[in-house]
Structure 1
Amino acid sequence: MTLRITLSAALAAATFLAVPATAAPKTDLTVGMAAQDVGQLDPHRAVSTIDRTVVAWMYNGLVRFKPGTMDPTQIEPDLAEKWESSADKLDWTFHLRHGVKFHGDFGELTADDVAFSLKRASDAKTSAFSADFAAFKSIEATDPYTVHIILARQVPSLLGLLTNYSGGYIVSRKAVEKYGADFTRNPVGTGPFAFVSDTPNQSLELTAFNGYFRGEPQLAHVSYRYIPSDSSRDLAFQNGEIDLVYGKQDQAWINRIRALPNTVVDVFEPGELANLNLNITAKPLDDIRVRQAIAYAVNRPELVKWQGADTARPGQSVIPAGYLGFSKDVGLANTDIAKAKALLKEAGYPDGVTIKVIHTQLPQMLGSMQVVQAQLRKAGINLDLQVVDHATFHQQIRKDLSPIVYYAAARFPVADIYLTQFFHSASIVGKPTAVTNFSHCDVADKDIDAAKTEPDAEKQVALWVEAQKKIVATACAVPLAEALQIWAHRTDLDYGYELKASLSLGPLLTEATHFK
């Protein structure tokens, strides 16, 4: 009997060893980003693509866009499980989920954290998005799970301001007070992934937050690698060293990467509209004829052709196409080099003019600006590009150090936010209420302000259209092109949703993201 049992066990063991074990699913994601480091991990200051993408993996809002979308009609509960508002939309009450935890040892999310976060987002000293919250009259935690918001006036989309985007992110009050100015390098949120470390010129490391209220993430670890060189980043992806890669908004790149085995190229909304913002108070741009000459020298179809049909479309106004309030009938100038030269001569520059411009080394933005530089040169306008790293670029343009600012951006898809941030006088850089008005434009203030409180939808849209016409006529900014978001990933990576759009400008990593 003993011998029989021993032989049976040996045969069973041999059979087990002969059958190869199924490999455990991969759980570590490596991302390749065109950067040397992040600029801000404080979500209320995160403005660049580099920062926005990773911040979205760590934080939540009271509400959220359904993953993979940017459709305001699909906004759904997030940290708040329900809400109600008064008939006039000025009085709102949000009821929080119970048991939501912050990363680390910062405890449970309460209404006090929400009130603190939204007040912080509305303060220009602590937020890049304070102008969005100008209509907030009061924000109060009425009990540990209830937040009461009163508006001084109606806003086009209150829920849009409270999504998992820009100023809508909720931070831990205890963490902000503990870390102070160092909070930007010690981020604490409630999202599916928690901060571990940041090593400049190397990577940002995140770990799965097992206490995430939507469920434990299927990815265990995310390494956000900084690879500023296009060729190095592409080679790392081709060699299988990274699973998800930031792409170039360039047709040749898309075609080349699509040809790689086991690869998917993601092309998704929003289209980031690139404008040349012209400081109307700085010489020689204080002369409208010089600004108009720039407008006539720009060749949008040529720029789109250079970027590629899959990734770009011509700018049609000073706000992106598809936004509520957008109009393509705003009087944009068509390319006319002879007219541009004549305007320069009339302005006192018969031999042309040179303008120093600070610009980012971020590859796709630099390439596009170099195309614009070549276009303007044909009219005698020489842009002397001072190229700096992306974080420095953002710092310097906000100090009003560049008379021309090439800025590509997407915002919540309602005209009000874009017009307010880029073209209202309250948002002029250098002011306490500054946002991104690099042109010092103020010609459309009355229309922008009136639209904020206009109850009639048709009249509201008409005011937004009139604002666009005035901004174009004054040549505060020259629209260039809208570039869609381009990333690529391995076929074994499943986002857990269909990626059609992402306002964080990168694929959203959720608890459902996994390797197949």
Structure 2
Amino acid sequence: MSKKFGKSIIAAIAASALTGWIAPGVAYAATLRVAVGAADISTLDPARASNTQDVAIVSWIFNGLVRFAPGSADPKRIEPDLAESWTSSPDGLVWTFKLRKDVKFHGDYGTVSADDVVFSLQRAKSPDTSSFSSDYAAFTSIEAVDPLTVRITLSEPVPGFLGLLANYHGGNIVSKKAAEALGAKFKAAPVGTGPFQFDKAVTQQSVYLKAFPDYFRGAPKIDDIRVDLIPSDSSRELAFRSGELDLIYGKREQRWVDQAKSWGNAVVDIFAPGEYRTVFINMARKPLDNVKVREAIAHAINVDQIVQFVGAGVALKGCSSVPNDYLGEDCTWTYKYDPETSKQLLAEAGLKSGLTLSAVVSSSSAQQPIMEVIQAQLADVGINMQMKVVDHPTYHEQIRKDLSDLVFYGAARYPVADSYLSQFYHSDASIGKPTAVTNFAHCDAADADINAARKAATDEERIKLWSEAQKKIFDQVCGVPLFSLMQVWVHNKALNYGYVLKGSLNLAPPITEQATLNR
């Protein structure tokens, strides 16, 4: 490099520090400024995190034994992460994982060992420490063969087994030493191995992460991440458009997406998986214990109108209790919008003059407007749905206390039927039980088929059992499937993810060591 050219580069960089301008092609490390749609963080413990904002931050801090390729939610693209290789027995019941050497945890917690993996997966398996324990019910043994080898023995073949060990939910590996030392404080000061490490959090304001220079894939190109907690869609939009933010959680409505695409500095990311929206009907509360009343609700809801309201570009109509495009989805049985039949069923149930129901509803823009549409549809047949609108964390708290007749809920899970059937429709997952997950309906019609599918030797047999389970759930009318709502984020053109974003099971763009900012 000539002295003259070198001086010009130095001058350009000096000028950029004063004016914000940077020479084309010259990238520099900086703070990635992110905003999520929440008033606060609930937990950063990966075995407990289920809210979108929590899961997003967790995904930048932790690794699994395996991972979904960045930008993908495709189970066929699972690749090594903390494990460098693995083998399985011919019957699929014994899996052995060889760990990478010298992978460092954040802080002073040493390197990853088989003991950390055993501790993490046992933690994921226990309902006392995990919100996803039912996923790991078939894990009969998790043992350290040697310091860098882990063997997992299953009681039965598990559909999508590797997905349970990926960088998602209970598959994230924590430091045993840190979790034991911090105890209950771990959820607010997590320790992982990912490209970014927890720095600090300011309640109802921001969470700060900083680059982990010893990340085993290489030091991140971004210095740190500031995640602002901004529940207002309009406030996030204003901050983004004024240049204060680089990446924001978007409003999942077609009109908003179309507007965002016209912003000069914006790139709109619409990606899978969709969070599958369902209205669950609480059969434990009268008069919803009467199947005719549940059928009346199902026939009163016009899903086509809801999808039109949300927008076909971000909403994909559902047809079954199992989400769109999951292995095992069966669209044979769907509820038909028929308000006259709905009124007739109410009359047959002794409710000709109608009834009043209650629903705890999140003030989130992805929920309240849709529930207002459903409220109007139900009113047309004489059902008065009284909505108790609360902030999103309170909504999660109250629906898990069985306080709602109808529960509107959306979630994305590993894309096989078992994950959804087990968590939303098996009686073991019913709200109020020690093993509760998200069965808000107290559905129990398909337990035998769900259990049998887990033990099935072939996918053909398993799919047949899942189909029967969906039929029984349909007949019991545990809920009304609505649509899959795709993920919507917006980033400015200065942010380069370093991959093509098509999907993310963690519901947010993965921020890896390859991400760059050029502004």
Matched, 1:482 2:491: no
Name the CA distance, whole Å, in 2 between partners of 1:193 and 1:19.
31
Measured after TM superposition, the shift of residue 26 of structure 1 is 4.8
Name the CA distance, whole Å, in 2 between partners of 1:18 and 1:184.
44
Identify the match of residue 276 of structure 2 among 260, 273, 284.
273
1:434-445 mapped onto 2 (5 Å cutoff): 434-445=436-447
Query: Counterpart of 2:168?
Result: 165
Query: Counterpart of 1:73?
Result: 76
Measured after TM superposition, the shift of residue 383 of structure 1 is 1.4
Q: Which amino acid aligns with 1:464?
A: W
Query: Counterpart of 1:296?
Result: 299
CA offsets, 1:397-433, max 9 Å, x none? 2222222211101110110111011111111111111
Measured after TM superposition, the shift of residue 157 of structure 1 is 2.0
CA offsets, 1:216-269, max 9 Å, x none? 011111011011111111111111111101011101100111100021100100
Q: CA RMSD in A?
A: 1.7
Query: Counterpart of 1:179?
Result: 182
Instruction: Indicate how the Cα distance of structure 1 residues 250 and 17 shifts in structure 2: closer, same or farther if over 3 A, else same.
Output: closer
Measured after TM superposition, the shift of residue 141 of structure 1 is 1.1
Identify the match of residue 318 of structure 1 among 318, 321, 337.
321
Name the CA distance, whole Å, in 2 between partners of 1:77 and 1:373.
47
Instruction: Indicate how the Cα distance of structure 1 residues 241 and 294 shifts in structure 2: closer, same or farther if over 3 A, else same.
Output: same
For the 8 Å contact 2:41–2:204, the answer to whether it is kept is: no
Instruction: Indicate how the Cα distance of structure 1 residues 144 and 287 shifts in structure 2: closer, same or farther if over 3 A, else same.
Output: same
Identify the match of residue 147 of structure 1 among 139, 150, 154.
150
Measured after TM superposition, the shift of residue 360 of structure 1 is 1.4
Query: Counterpart of 2:392?
Result: 390
Query: Counterpart of 2:379?
Result: 377
Query: Counterpart of 1:111?
Result: 114
Name the CA distance, whole Å, in 2 between partners of 1:312 and 1:288.
29
Matched, 1:228 2:231: yes
Name the CA distance, whole Å, in 2 between partners of 1:210 and 1:493.
20
Identify the match of residue 212 of structure 2 among 209, 213, 217.
209
Query: Counterpart of 1:510?
Result: 512
- TM-score norm. by structure 1 comes to 0.95
Name the CA distance, whole Å, in 2 between partners of 1:40 and 1:374.
35
Identify the match of residue 457 of structure 2 among 430, 433, 455.
455
Name the CA distance, whole Å, in 1 between partners of 2:383 and 2:184.
42
Q: Which amino acid aligns with 1:303?
A: I
Query: Counterpart of 1:122?
Result: 125
Query: Counterpart of 1:5?
Result: none
CA offsets, 1:318-372, max 9 Å, x none? 1111111011112x12111111111112212222111111121222111211111
Equivalent position SS for 1:57:
helix
Q: Which amino acid aligns with 1:82?
A: S
Identify the match of residue 203 of structure 2 among 200, 208, 216.
200
1:277-426 mapped onto 2 (5 Å cutoff): 277-330=280-333, 332-426=334-428
Q: Which amino acid aligns with 2:50?
A: V
Name the CA distance, whole Å, in 1 between partners of 2:390 and 2:103.
41
CA offsets, 1:30-64, max 9 Å, x none? 11111111111000001111111111000110000
Matched, 1:248 2:251: yes
Equivalent position SS for 2:98:
strand
Instruction: Indicate how the Cα distance of structure 1 residues 147 and 341 shifts in structure 2: closer, same or farther if over 3 A, else same.
Output: same
Name the CA distance, whole Å, in 1 between partners of 2:98 and 2:461.
34
1:22-33 mapped onto 2 (5 Å cutoff): 23=22, 25-33=28-36
Query: Counterpart of 1:47?
Result: 50
Q: Which amino acid aligns with 1:302?
A: Q
For the 8 Å contact 2:295–2:477, the answer to whether it is kept is: yes
Name the CA distance, whole Å, in 1 between partners of 2:186 and 2:391.
22
Name the CA distance, whole Å, in 2 between partners of 1:207 and 1:462.
48
Instruction: Indicate how the Cα distance of structure 1 residues 384 and 97 shifts in structure 2: closer, same or farther if over 3 A, else same.
Output: same
Instruction: Indicate how the Cα distance of structure 1 residues 129 and 350 shifts in structure 2: closer, same or farther if over 3 A, else same.
Output: same
Q: Which amino acid aligns with 2:420?
A: Y
Name the CA distance, whole Å, in 1 between partners of 2:44 and 2:385.
33
For the 8 Å contact 2:251–2:257, the answer to whether it is kept is: yes
The number of residue pairs the alignment matches comes to 505
For the 8 Å contact 2:209–2:226, the answer to whether it is kept is: yes
Look at both structures and tell me which one has the larger radius of gyration over its CA atoms: 1
Identical amino acids, percent of aligned pairs: 50
Q: Which amino acid aligns with 2:507?
A: L
Q: Where do 4+ consecutive residues of structure 1 move more than 6 Å?
A: none
Name the CA distance, whole Å, in 1 between partners of 2:68 and 2:9.
49
Measured after TM superposition, the shift of residue 19 of structure 1 is 5.4
Name the CA distance, whole Å, in 2 between partners of 1:31 and 1:237.
9
Task: In structure 2, list runs of 5 or more residues that go unmatched.
Answer: 17-21
Measured after TM superposition, the shift of residue 158 of structure 1 is 1.4
CA offsets, 1:184-216, max 9 Å, x none? 101111111111111122111110011111110
Measured after TM superposition, the shift of residue 16 of structure 1 is 5.7
Measured after TM superposition, the shift of residue 12 of structure 1 is 7.5
Name the CA distance, whole Å, in 2 between partners of 1:62 and 1:202.
32
Task: In structure 1, list runs of 5 or more residues that go unmatched.
Answer: 1-10
Q: Which amino acid aligns with 2:178?
A: A
Query: Counterpart of 1:8?
Result: none
Q: Which amino acid aligns with 2:65?
A: L
For the 8 Å contact 2:29–2:221, the answer to whether it is kept is: no
Measured after TM superposition, the shift of residue 453 of structure 1 is 1.3
Query: Counterpart of 1:491?
Result: 493
- TM-score norm. by structure 2 comes to 0.95
Q: Which amino acid aligns with 1:167?
A: G
Instruction: Indicate how the Cα distance of structure 1 residues 341 and 119 shifts in structure 2: closer, same or farther if over 3 A, else same.
Output: same
Identify the match of residue 137 of structure 1 among 140, 150, 170.
140
Instruction: Indicate how the Cα distance of structure 1 residues 85 and 348 shifts in structure 2: closer, same or farther if over 3 A, else same.
Output: same
For the 8 Å contact 2:86–2:96, the answer to whether it is kept is: yes
Matched, 1:61 2:64: yes
Q: Which amino acid aligns with 1:476?
A: C
Q: Which amino acid aligns with 1:227?
A: I
For the 8 Å contact 2:252–2:366, the answer to whether it is kept is: yes
